[in-house]
Amino acid sequence: MLRSGIAQRYAKALFQAALHQGAADEVFGDVESFLAARGKVPALRLVFESPQVLTEDKHRLIDRLLKERVHKLFLDLLHVLIDKKRIMFAGDIAEAYRLFYEKHKGVIEVRAITAIPLDDLQKEKLIRTLAEQTKKTIRLTPVVDPEILGGVILKLEDQLIDGSVRHQLAELKRRLAETKVTPSGEHTAEA
């Protein structure tokens, strides 16, 4: 899902600096606002990533738009990215920062893949169950994939829990293929 090594390194440096200054929450708010604005105004991204726009103009635009609105650490990061010609990684860095921040706060992202959309009650129950099991705060990202036929696949941190009908059918097929039928009608399973 994420991200280049570059994004990880910048995000980690930003997060550590923000923690050191006691500004992790404030920078997180800036990151969230940045990601939201980035999605709403794609033309800005084009301006910042365009090689035809002068570096000085990009710096002036960043200052005019953000100087009084964001923490100095975040503003400085954007200026460094412009200077190093890595501004195209700003979105990935912001997303990586979000993950560092959420991990620090005990929040984990869980992708729930289902064949049909989950309703609000199902989402709430899944979040509650996972929170009880992991002892962490859950940020649920539902994904619809009709290919799984039914059930749910959960992706959380380093785990994959496949409770899909498709997986269960494949497992049944594998077990049946391992079963030998003897002439007397008795059957044995190879282990």
Question: pLDDT (tens digit, 9 = 90+) per residue, 125-171?
Answer: 999 999 999 899 999 999 999 998 888 999 987 888 888 888 888 88
- What does the pLDDT read at residue 7? 93
CB 7 within 8 A of CB 92: yes
- Please state, rounded to an integer, the average pLDDT across all residues of the chain: 89
pLDDT at 186: 60
Over pLDDT 70: what percentage of the chain? 94
At 1, is the pLDDT very low, low, confident or very high (cuts 50, 70, 90)?
Answer: very low
Report the range of poorest mean pLDDT among 59-68, 93-102, 149-158, 182-191. Answer: 182-191
Would you kindly state where each structural domain of the chain is located, as residue ranges? 5-103, 106-164
CB proximity list for 2: less than 8 A, separation 6 or greater: 8, 92, 95, 96, 99
Helical H runs in 2-137? 5-20, 24-40, 42-49, 55-66, 72-83, 90-104, 120-134
| Assigned token pair, 48 | 């910042």
Span 57-71, average pLDDT:
94
For 55-59, what is the mean pLDDT? Answer: 95
Confidence of residue 188 (pLDDT cuts 50, 70, 90): low
151-156 sheet: strands from edge to edge: 137-144, 107-114, 151-156, 159-164
Give the DSSP H/E element, type plus range, for residue 178: helix 165-178
Specify whether the backbone of 87 is left (phi greater than 0), alpha (psi in -120 to 50) or beta: alpha
45: confidence class by pLDDT, cuts 50, 70, 90 = confident
Residue 189 has pLDDT above 60, yes or no: no
pLDDT bucket at 190, cuts 50 / 70 / 90: low
Instruction: Report the pLDDT value the prediction gives residue 2, as an integer from 0 to 100.
Output: 43
Taking each helix axis as running N to C, give the angle between helix 55-66 and helix 72-83, from 0 to 180 degrees, rounded to the nearest 10: 170
In this structure, are residues 26 and 93 in contact, taking their beta carbons and an 8 Å threshold? no
Fold of 5-103: Peroxidase; domain 1 (1.10.520)
